[in-house]
Amino acid sequence: MALLELAQELIRIKSISPKDNGCFDVIENKLVDLNFDVQKINYSNVENLLARYGSSGPVFCFLGHTDVVPEGPIDQWSFPPFAAEVNENILYGRGAADMKSSIAAFMIAAKEFLKLNPNPNFQIWILLTSNEEGEKEDGKIDKIIDDLTQEGKFIDYCLVGEASSSNIVGDTLRRGRRGSLTGYLKVIGKQGHVAYPKKVINPIHLSGEVIRILSEEVWDEGNEFFEPTSFQISNISGGTGATNVVPNSLDLVFNLRFSPESTADSLKNRILEIFEANNLNYEISWVKNADPYFTKDNKFIDTIQKAIKKINGSEAIIDNGGGTSDGRWVAPMGSQVVELGPLNKTIHQINENIPIHDLEKVKDIYLQILQEVGTS
Ligand SMILES: [Zn+2]
């Protein structure tokens, strides 16, 4: 199996979340050939694959996902999104950067590593899911992590193959991610004719001041590794459509990306205090999409930096920005979780791509990481 062909084979499978759609069959066949013990674990609407090699020593786990986001308007793509075409040494397709290339790169890295080291002093696991990008209701990999914990199994080092790099492969890695909290707010007023202002309570006017306070609030200062918590309103709607009617209520959706200096509960409490202080009549519901996570221990980071330095000549910078990732499910085990993968310039976009040179470099870095883990 060759790297480019494997990446292409995976991209050609239209595996939109939460469907794996057969990627795992391709992966399973190839990993069985490399003497991995492969299990497929399905529940809810999600499919998962856990492949294990070796039975003693610390567990190194590559974590990834085969699902992709929808391709969007197909006529805007220069190359069909599921054709995996190569043009001027660039591989195009949905999943080329996020993250089928990383999966292919790790599989080839494992193959090359095991050829030279058939009995490594650590265990190699590959844990993949078909619903990283999609909705929580369809199932996430947290259940597998819970089951492993119940069985007394532990992941020591977890490498997440998400596209972390900015300008060159390996220039940026993540050792944590912010949390995400969404609030669905309904501000309740009193409907009536605009010509009788004393007889109405205008929820739009009431919201103005509260929005100003929320958007100017300093939630925390962040820390050495995290930006301060940020608040953004993503949706607002109110009004009956008529120009002469004050509506009864206004709906507003907001989201906080929060650093480990805050918690979902501390943020909720502060927001409710602001509502109370402004005598707001409201209803609210919350969805906590993710808690923040952060790898404090330096051992695995140092190992990865050593590998990156050998390939790139310099270490990666550490940036814990970006959205959420499946690393958040593994981190609570106490694992050292690091995210490292290709450039994130084109992820989720039209014409998502990876230069072939980058694809090979991701593989080189992953191979070097395996070698460093073996000697650390
Ligand atoms: Zn991803």
For the segment 332-357, what is each residue's pLDDT rounded down to a tens digit?
A: 999 999 999 999 999 999 999 999 99
Q: Which of 71, 132, 162, 358 is catalytic?
A: 132
Give phi and psi for 249, each to the nearest 5. Answer: -150, 170
Our answer to whether residue 112 is catalytic in this structure is: no
> Residues of the chain with pLDDT > 90: what percent?
95
Q: Which of 67, 156, 162, 372 is catalytic?
A: 67
Please count the helices (runs of H) and the strands (runs of E) in the chain.
9, 19
Task: List the end-to-end C-alpha distance of the chain, in Å, as a whole number.
Answer: 29
Q: What is the CATH number of domain 3-177+292-375?
A: 3.40.630.10
Task: Give the torsion through C-alpha atoms of 185, 190, 193, 195, to 10 deg.
Answer: -100
**Per-residue confidence at 321, pLDDT binned at 50, 70, 90?**
confident
Distance (Å, rounded) from C-alpha 209 to C-alpha 355?
Answer: 49
Average pLDDT, integer, range 110-129: 97
Is residue 264 a contact partner of residue 288, using CB atoms and an 8 Å limit?
yes
Cα 362 to averaged position of ligand 1 atoms, centre (Å): 15
Is residue 120 a contact partner of residue 54, using CB atoms and an 8 Å limit?
yes
**Per-residue confidence at 274, pLDDT binned at 50, 70, 90?**
very high
Q: Where in the chain is the domain with CATH 3.40.630.10?
A: 3-177+292-375
Radius of gyration of the chain (CA): 24
pLDDT of 188 over the 90 cut: yes
DSSP-assigned letters across all residues of 139-193: --THHHHHHHHHTT---SEEEE----BSSSTTSEEBSEE-EEEEEEEEEE-B-EE
Long-range contacts of 269-276 (CB under 8 A, 24+ apart): 270/217, 270/219, 271/183, 271/214, 274/210, 274/213, 274/214, 274/217, 275/210
Distance (Å, rounded) from C-alpha 80 to C-alpha 140?
Answer: 29
Our answer to whether residue 132 is catalytic in this structure is: yes
Average pLDDT, integer, range 175-198: 96
Cα 160 to averaged position of ligand 1 atoms, centre (Å): 9
Q: Where in the chain is the domain with CATH 3.30.70.360?
A: 179-290
Cα 286 to averaged position of ligand 1 atoms, centre (Å): 25
Q: Is 64 exposed, middle or buried (0-12, 13-18, 19+ CB in 10 A)?
A: buried
Q: What is the pLDDT of residue 55?
A: 94
Task: Give the torsion through C-alpha atoms of 185, 189, 191, 194, to 10 deg.
Answer: -110
- Residue-wise pLDDT tens digits, 222-258: 998 999 999 999 999 999 999 999 999 999 999 999 9
pLDDT of 264 over the 80 cut: yes
- Give whole-number Cα distances, 228 to 44, 231, 272, 294, 328, in Å: 36, 10, 20, 15, 19
Average pLDDT, integer, range 162-180: 96
Q: What is the pLDDT of residue 137?
A: 87
Q: Which amino acid is at 100?
A: K
Distance (Å, rounded) from C-alpha 236 to C-alpha 250?
Answer: 7
- Give whole-number Cα distances, 196 to 203, 208, 245, in Å: 15, 20, 10
Which of these, 16, 67, 22, lies nearest to 40 by C-alpha position?
A: 22
Cα 187 to averaged position of ligand 1 atoms, centre (Å): 36
- Residue-wise pLDDT tens digits, 189-220: 999 999 999 999 999 999 999 999 999 999 99
Cα 278 to averaged position of ligand 1 atoms, centre (Å): 41
Average pLDDT, integer, range 261-283: 97
Which pair of tokens denotes residue 248? 């009864």
Give phi and psi for 221, each to the nearest 5. Answer: -100, 5
Cα 323 to averaged position of ligand 1 atoms, centre (Å): 10
DSSP SS3 for 203? helix
Cα 270 to averaged position of ligand 1 atoms, centre (Å): 32
pLDDT of 124 over the 80 cut: yes
- Residue-wise pLDDT tens digits, 24-76: 999 999 999 999 999 999 999 999 999 999 999 999 999 999 999 999 999 99
Q: What is the pLDDT of residue 335?
A: 96
pLDDT of 135 over the 90 cut: no
- Residue-wise pLDDT tens digits, 65-112: 999 999 999 999 999 999 999 999 999 999 999 999 999 999 999 999
Average pLDDT, integer, range 297-315: 97
Q: What is the CATH number of domain 179-290?
A: 3.30.70.360
DSSP-assigned letters across all residues of 91-138: EESTTTTTTHHHHHHHHHHHHHHHHH-SS-SSEEEEEEES-SSS-GGG
Q: Among all chains, which residue has been given the structure tokens 């974590």?
A: 63
pTM of the model: 0.88
What is the chain's mean pLDDT, rounded? 96
